[in-house]
Amino acid sequence: MTTDTLPEDTTAPTPSGPRSVRAVFSTEDFRLMRAAVVHYLKQPEVQDGPESVKYSNLYHRLGRLG
């Protein structure tokens, strides 16, 4: 395979430079997501389930971000 047949690299930065980083979620979004997670965790079928630890960890991570 020669270099003229290689696929174009689409991950390279554009000549104008890298794009600026923008926040996707606001502080209020994190509060809402925490409230939704805690509401979900209180459901009887979730409380005793194996994934409840994962949701609990998510709740605490969201608290650190918001």
Which tens digit of pLDDT belongs to each residue from 6-47? 666 666 655 677 888 888 889 899 999 999 999 999 999 888
How many domains is the chain built from? 1
pLDDT of 66 reads 63
Burial level of 7, CB count in 10 A (0-12/13-18/19+)?
exposed
pLDDT of 18 reads 81
In a domain, 15, yes or no: no
In a domain, 44, yes or no: yes
**Mean pLDDT lowest for which of 2-6, 48-52, 60-64?**
2-6
Provide the residue range defining the domain that includes 35. Answer: 25-66
The pTM for the full model equals: 0.61
CA distance 49 to 51: 6
Report the candidate in 1, 60, 5 with the shortest Cα–Cα distance to residue 33: 60
CA distance 58 to 41: 11
Q: Given the structure tokens 């794009």, which residue do they identify? A: 19
Q: Is the pLDDT of residue 3 over 80?
A: no
